[in-house]
Structure 1
Amino acid sequence: MKVLLEIPDHKASSLMEVLQSISYVRAKPLTEAKAILLEEIREAVEEMQLIKAGKKQARNAEDFLNEL
């Protein structure tokens, strides 16, 4: 199982030490860029689920591209 934790920077090193001391746990910090990417992907998946459930309306692809 994989778990993503959000920990304040000033507490992260002590938690990483604890996690790394457990033989069956592999822990490695994410770079800020990867953390941002994962958050954006999570938000996109949630938005797609809302659209599929009919709770949110999808945007026209042409409008989206014109916005860029």
Structure 2
Amino acid sequence: MDAEIYLMMHRCRARELQHNVLRWRKARDLSARLEPVTVRLKARLGWVLVETGLRLVQRASLNRHMAG
């Protein structure tokens, strides 16, 4: 293989890799900015599920108490 073609091929590949690095850095930065929001949303969703479960248990308990 000609040395110039070899160098051109590696330069092209280096540009592709640099492009990928920039794309991944942007994605990582976006993820880092969204992380506090997603953590809060997960916590809120968890507590909503706990509250819903407690209401269902309470309702079932009241229904059994009223029926029996």
Q: Give TM-score scaled by structure 2 length.
A: 0.36
Which has the larger share of helix?
Answer: 2
Q: Which one scores higher on RCO, CA 8 angstroms, separation ≥ 6?
A: 1
Q: Give TM-score scaled by structure 1 length.
A: 0.36
